[in-house]
A and B are shown apart, each in its own frame.
Chain A
């Protein structure tokens, strides 16, 4: 088996890192409100759109200027707040009133889907109608050429692909410290695990939910901001395919633990392009002609969803590993 090129591995790691952040956000909102947020993929696209608009504004003035690189900090930061507010809108205007009215899970899910459709259409309108300084028109633009190239030894890659995993690690460590070392973080974990007990102890559970929705949106914004340099073009409909990978990673992680979500998201995001390219190479070698299957890459995510739900619906973190090892041993016939 021939390994893909180092450039491709770096790309897969970057994609895995952004998917880990997206799965983390989805799992966080699922744990608080118990609704799978069908709009999460589109939230990432909002982050990508913010980045596109920012580059459209500053590219004329700062092209070639070292100051241009501050964009890599400014764009995710702005995306964090903008998308955080969008997610907060979804929770405060759509889901919370419905939860308080006692609407069932199916109603809440269709409401989340409704928000997704509204968001996609508003984004499409914005991209068509918003004035553009550099591109002329914003819809369907690719940011691939706007990423700074970086050469290390004989590997050429781009800055965002190197920065993405670093940012993901920094955010994860920060979140871990926030959840374990601060009073609000501990209150947050308590309200997720047992809302009624937390309420009895005087924790404002509703404020905790608001913060988790804002955080989930913010992380989706950061991930989307970096994804904008990787995806073919920034188009609102892309969210409906990204959401499948997000669900795959979250379900693999168990939909009940944020560390599981990080692991599941990274694994799905890393393995999706890697497995596809390796299968493609193997097939080409086997058949003796070039076979292209990269357009079917997303099927890997669907496969993960189906296999995990059939074999271990509780995901990686819900498995009883001692039992699994025992069963494997019995099957193999060792011990």
Chain B
């Protein structure tokens, strides 16, 4: 009987979520939201889930999410463009030679190796070549699929390795050291190493992306109906699929013996160490998995962009701080909470963004500045300030978040009796 009620309640909560999601999607046109917003929410929710996995369940204070998301974007903009060029050259030999004769001024007598460096490093070469390469890729299903697998495979592996590398120095130490190292590592890799080195992915000028998607004419009509382009729809579909997989994966781990071990490690790493668990090794594994998830989110996010810049696009406010705010608002160590918090913070920021000009026209006479100037500044700064205030208020008033953490699901008494 109890399990029946439990199952009913679970079904009911699932129903509520489904209704909420449908309601939000229906409300989008009313709020002035577009398909791009749905896409942004999808990618950031993957990041929030990855963060919840690392910070909520395992207690790793990951203040360096931005780097892991950027690694995914780099997999597309820096590495993907070069893989794409190699694929095109293999499929139709002489492509680079053709490019060289088509654009003698910018490519001139560059050797083949130099072309590979410049195709993602030099803004001019990158801009022209990426369009040419993309037009070949999008026409061939085999090339498109190979490139997609290569980019996402690289994003996953590079993300996992970066996650391990970033936390290696402090994985045996207290959480505060771990937080400091992750913040420092992420900050310096994104805004010094990647942003200052042109050869990696264009440095401060950024790099144009070669979208790995196939050109599907059948999507044209649907895309026009939704006010977007087919490529964005494919990105959105991939994003939603990855989100679903990540959600099920994190949820299953959380409710497994491994999940209970992670919570125990978060609450008392010394005690779990005494019970014979290797805390450092577990943390490294969690860092690798979480960072790989964030990295895939970054690759999907970058696929709708035309130009990807390291420090400008992947700043710590958008990709570290706001996911933290979403997770804390929704409730740490609770995946439904993370999703709910993510949607709530995104819509809240959008609303502030929307009403900034109104607020600006009200306060600009007092400050003696033009309303349009004040509006631009408010629009850029006010959402961040309010998210900061929100975090502090949630921590003070409701530290457990909207949906508090629940005890992990175990086997029912009947199942255990059957097993024994």
Contacts and interface: CB of A to CB of B under 8 A. Distances in A.
A79 B321 CA distance: 28
A34 B179 CA distance: 13
B116 interface: no
B197 to A, nearest CB: 8
Interface string B247-260: 00000000000000
Interface in B324-356: 324-325, 328
A310 B328 CA distance: 31
B199 interface: no
Interface stretch (B78-86, B185-193, B279-287): B185-193
A103 B325 CA distance: 16
A233 interface: no
B396 A101 contact: yes
B187 A244 contact: yes
Interface in B370-413: 373-374, 377-378, 380-382, 384-385, 387-389, 391-392, 395-396, 399
A313 interface: yes
A251 B169 contact: no
Given A113-B321, A302-B184, A128 B191 contact: no
B267 to A, nearest CB: 9
A306 B328 CA distance: 29
Contact of A106 (B61, B180, B192, B368): B61
Interface residues of A, number: 46
Contacts of B321: 113-114, 117
Interface stretch (B17-25, B26-34, B145-153, B170-178): B170-178
Interface in A14-44: 34-36, 38
Contact of B391 (A110, A122, A295): A110
A309 interface: yes
B180 A105 contact: no
A299 B189 CA distance: 9
Nearest to A310: B169
Interface in B69-96: none
Interface string A188-217: 000000000000000000000000000000
Nearest to A38: B183
B170 A309 contact: yes
Give chain B's interface secondary structure class.
helix
A121 B184 contact: no
Contact of B389 (A110, A118, A124): A118
Contacts of A244: 183-184, 187-188
A113 to B, nearest CB: 7
Given A299-B193, A305-B169, A305-B184, A35 B176 contact: yes
Contact of B59 (A106, A128, A313): A106
Contacts of A38: 63, 183
A25 to B, nearest CB: 16
B181 interface: yes
Interface residues of B, number: 50
A129 B369 contact: yes
B299 to A, nearest CB: 25
Nearest to A304: B184
Contacts of A295: 192, 196
B265 interface: no
A113 B369 CA distance: 31
A296 interface: yes
A224 B358 CA distance: 36
Interface string A209-248: 0000000000000000000000000000000110110011
Given A125-B381, A247-B180, A103 B395 contact: yes
Best-buried of B382, B387, B388, B399 by chain A (most CB within 10 Å): B388
Interface string B300-327: 0000000000000000110001001100
Contacts of A301: 184, 188
A89 B73 CA distance: 38
B125 to A, nearest CB: 22
Contacts of B381: 121-122, 124-125
B193 A306 contact: no
Given A36-B179, A121-B385, 8 more contacts: A101-B396, A110-B395, A114-B391, A115-B392, A121-B381, A122-B385, A251-B180, A295-B196
9 closest Cβ pairs, A-B complex: A118-B388, A114-B388, A121-B381, A114-B391, A306-B169, A295-B196, A309-B169, A244-B184, A117-B388
Interface of A: 34-36, 38, 94, 97-98, 101, 103, 105-107, 109-111, 113-115, 117-118, 120-122, 124-125, 128-129, 131, 240-241, 243-244, 247-248, 251, 295-296, 298-299, 301-302, 305-306, 309-310, 313
